[in-house]
């Protein structure tokens, strides 16, 4: 059977995206569905029901990663894996992650509709805690799968309330029995929104992701001395918040030295005691750097360490800088990338090579299996925001590219 007439059901795909988006829907039109909350459980339950309805066999590993298998003609062969994640940011959108999971489900549904058998099995994956917004670091479960972090370390990760990831997996009923990793993938394809403005600005249908940026995450704590805001002279102050503020400025300056590919962000800041007439005695902050080359990341890392030490000395505070997460730059598999290009070309879709500025589970899996990513545009490049949006045709185009790339890898049985 040829590929020329194979398409997903775009209306069904969009309806499923909208149904999933109702779980954790926010007043501003986004989604708040943090990893391993009750809302995440509801999303997982819905996905599991959909998979059962499609005749897929579900297995869950000890990190809660969900694998829904569509049998192949030869079950001894390694599967072609497609999927992404269902957790979101605190002020997330409807499509980040969910498009990849539900687009993969639509691939399986469409293959069922068309009575297509593949030589290799096809598995849909929903990775746990991709976002890292509740349990740092990001992509923690795919990291365990790829051998980049131990299962024990990952399950011990705590949220800001001191609740452990492993405990929450058990509480919501998604601590599976299957081992994490150690299972071969023939190939993995992840469909995702671009999360940037390039495709829409250039009126390009599909991004073929060739590389992923590396990233470094940090947590910094400054300890000064709490004192009365009215009676402590400026020269005698040990203000932890001033040290943090100066560091925030330096994070931006360091990133600008590696422009245009280098970026730096401060995402969290918390101060104690949080009184308007007390000089802050403690400040906690997070920051990160991203760049597609190891050399630039190393320069940014060294510059941050120097800046924190200098600022702490100048402000007469102590500083603790922890490097909490490191993801090396990724080069995706040339054969898988070529399959995605051929899929876009066969559909008559415009496409271009692109570097992912965001981290994805595919970046971890690329360490252990042939992997590629497929991007569709998003409106104004907005993501990690309740205003995140895409057009139904963009979702359908991306899922059609995913369908054809996965079929080339899995091989249609005549």
Which domain does 129 fall in, by range?
10-213+329-413
Is residue 319 a contact partner of residue 221, using CB atoms and an 8 Å limit? yes
Same domain, 222 and 336: no
List the structure tokens of 141.
């479960």
Q: What is the mean pLDDT of residues 279-287?
A: 98
> Is 244 a member of any domain?
yes
Strands 66-70 and 57-60: antiparallel
Q: What is d(CA 258, CA 251) in angstroms, rounded to the nearest whole number?
A: 11
Same domain, 386 and 349: yes
- Assign 173 a pLDDT band (cuts: 50, 70, 90): very high
Q: What is the pLDDT of residue 358?
A: 86
Same domain, 334 and 191: yes
Q: What is the CATH number of the domain that holds 251?
A: 3.30.70.360
Domain stop point among 307, 327, 347: 327
Same domain, 251 and 136: no
The gap from C-alpha 225 to its chain's centroid, in whole angstroms, comes to 38
Is residue 199 a contact partner of residue 375, using CB atoms and an 8 Å limit? yes
> Is 173 a member of any domain?
yes
> Using one digit for the tens of pLDDT, what is the confidence trace for 203-225?
999 999 999 999 999 999 999 99
Same domain, 229 and 205: no
pLDDT value at 44 more than 90: yes
Is residue 295 a contact partner of residue 195, using CB atoms and an 8 Å limit? no
Same domain, 47 and 132: yes
pLDDT value at 55 more than 90: yes
Q: What is the pLDDT of residue 414?
A: 67
In sequence order, what are the beta bridge partners of 327?
215
HEC string for 143-177: HHHCCCCCHHHHHHCECCCCCEHHHHHHHCCCCCC
> Using one digit for the tens of pLDDT, what is the confidence trace for 330-354?
999 999 999 999 999 999 999 999 9
Same domain, 174 and 233: no
- Global pTM value: 0.85
Q: How many independent structural domains does the chain possess?
A: 2
Same domain, 113 and 26: yes
Q: What is d(CA 208, CA 206) in angstroms, rounded to the nearest whole number?
A: 6
Domain stop point among 276, 301, 327: 327
Same domain, 163 and 264: no
> Is 247 a member of any domain?
yes
Q: What is the pLDDT of residue 357?
A: 84
> Using one digit for the tens of pLDDT, what is the confidence trace for 257-271?
999 989 999 999 999
Q: Which of 280, 218, 274, 275 is nearest to 243 (CA)?
A: 280
DSSP per residue over 213-277, as a string? -EEEEEEEEEE---EETTTS-GGG---HHHHHHHHHHHHHHHHHHTTTT-EEEEEEEEEES--TT
In sequence order, what are the beta bridge partners of 286?
219, 268
For 47, the 3-state DSSP assignment is helix
Is residue 260 a contact partner of residue 337, using CB atoms and an 8 Å limit? no
Domain stop point among 327, 356, 391: 327
**Mean pLDDT value across the chain:** 96
pLDDT value at 1 more than 50: no
Q: What is the pLDDT of residue 327?
A: 83
> For a pLDDT cut of 70, what percent of the chain falls above it?
99
Q: How far apart are the first and last CA of the chain?
A: 6
List the structure tokens of 191.
């469909």
Q: What is the pLDDT of residue 3?
A: 62
> Is 1 a member of any domain?
no
Same domain, 47 and 188: yes
């Amino acid at each position: 059977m040829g590929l020329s007439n194979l398409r997903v059901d775009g209306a069904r795909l969009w309806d499923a995206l909208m149904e999933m988006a109702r779980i954790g829907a926010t007043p501003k039109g986004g989604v708040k569905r943090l990893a391993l909350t009750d809302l995440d459980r509801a999303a997982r339950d819905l996905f599991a029901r959909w998979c059962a309805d499609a005749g897929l066999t579900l297995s869950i590993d000890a990190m809660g990663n969900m694998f829904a298998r569509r049998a192949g003609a030869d079950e001894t062969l390694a599967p072609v894996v497609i999927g992404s994640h269902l957790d979101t940011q605190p002020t997330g959108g409807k499509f980040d992650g969910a498009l990849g999971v539900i687009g993969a489900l639509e691939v399986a549904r469409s293959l069922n509709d068309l009575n297509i058998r593949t030589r290799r099995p096809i598995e849909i994956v929903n990775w746990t805690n991709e976002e890292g917004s509740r349990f740092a670091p990001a992509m923690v479960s795919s990291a365990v799968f790829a051998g980049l972090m131990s299962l024990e370390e990952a399950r011990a990760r705590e949220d800001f309330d001191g609740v452990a990831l492993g405990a929450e997996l058990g509480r919501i009923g998604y601590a599976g029995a299957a081992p994490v990793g150690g299972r071969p993938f023939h190939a993995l394809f992840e469909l995702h929104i671009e999360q940037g403005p390039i495709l829409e600005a250039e009126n390009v249908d599909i991004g073929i992701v060739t590389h992923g940026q590396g990233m470094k995450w940090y947590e910094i704590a400054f300890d000064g001395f709490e004192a009365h805001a009215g009676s402590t002279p400026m020269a005698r102050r040990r203000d932890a918040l001033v040290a943090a503020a100066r560091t925030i400025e330096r994070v931006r300056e360091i990133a600008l030295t590696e422009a245009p590919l280098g970026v730096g962000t401060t995402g969290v800041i918390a101060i104690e005691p949080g009184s308007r007439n007390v000089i802050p005695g403690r400040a906690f902050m997070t920051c990160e750097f991203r760049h597609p080359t190891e050399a630039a990341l190393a320069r940014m890392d060294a510059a941050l360490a120097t800046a924190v030490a200098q600022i702490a000395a100048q402000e007469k505070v102590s500083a603790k800088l922890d490097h909490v997460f490191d993801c090396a730059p990724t080069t995706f598999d040339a054969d898988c990338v070529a399959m995605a290009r051929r899929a876009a070309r066969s559909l008559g879709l415009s496409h271009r090579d692109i570097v992912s500025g965001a981290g994805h589970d595919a970046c971890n899996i690329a360490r252990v299996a042939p992997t590629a990513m497929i991007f569709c545009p998003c409106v104004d490049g907005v993501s990690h925001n309740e205003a995140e949006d895409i057009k139904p045709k963009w979702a359908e185009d991306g899922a059609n590219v995913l369908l054809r790339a996965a079929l080339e890898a899995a091989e249609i049985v005549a």
